[in-house]
Structure 1
Amino acid sequence: MTTKEMQFAYKVKLALDANLDNLSDDTLQHLSAARRVAMARKKKAVVVRVQQPVLAGAMGGTMSDSPSWLSRLGVAVPLLAGVILFAGIYQHETAKRVTELAEIDAAVLSDELPLSAYLDHGFNAFLAEKGE
């Protein structure tokens, strides 16, 4: 049905529902007969059969409601690999950050200036002017 037909059918339905109490018995019988004719012309439901893939039998299991241990393993292995990968990346980045901080600390401690010079705001201004 097109959208115009659907809108027309909806409007007819609303009009019939609104005036249902005012319809005569002859009209109700005509509407009932028209409904039976329309239902007889309605297309029957089509049953679609789907074949199981050949791969299901080749793996030693069947396609059922409960997943087999092989399909559970197929989900668990990539998930575990992802967790291990993310943990490794986190460890690597943490070690890299610690190494960078240790290099900065070593450079500050091996310098001849006292630590209080780095905390002085005037020294920061001096370094900014020196950098220009």
Structure 2
Amino acid sequence: MNETEFARRIREHLNFGACHLDRKVLTRLEAARRQALAGLAVEPAHEHAWQWATAGHGRHGSHPTLRRWLPLAMLLALLAGALYWQQTFHTPDEDVDAALLADDLPLDAYLDHGFQAWLERSSQR
């Protein structure tokens, strides 16, 4: 049972019970309901999600242009940060290859028989 079906069933039970009430009581209940609904300001659900970003108070204090451009600005800042990180902390493959080729081999590499066999096979080609 979903939320709409549940609300419909509750409404039916309340309406059935209201049939047996006095007319004076029904009038007072209807007036109280209207008063409660008049004071209720219905806001769309997405308004609450944007309140943290706009520093406003719901529909009255938030700026629609800011709500529209803030996600795009955040995305651009994220992309700029990723590009900066990649250029700053990424070592190009050519630098790694040059460092490996210019470096001396450790002594353990010469003692490795598999490495010796690989050197002999590659030199015969």
TM-score normalised by the shorter chain: which range applies? 0.3 to 0.5
Question: Larger Cα Rg: Structure 1 or Structure 2?
Answer: 1
TM-score of the superposed pair, with normalisation by structure 2: 0.37
Q: Which has the higher contact order (CA 8 A, sep 6+)?
A: 2
TM-score of the superposed pair, with normalisation by structure 1: 0.35
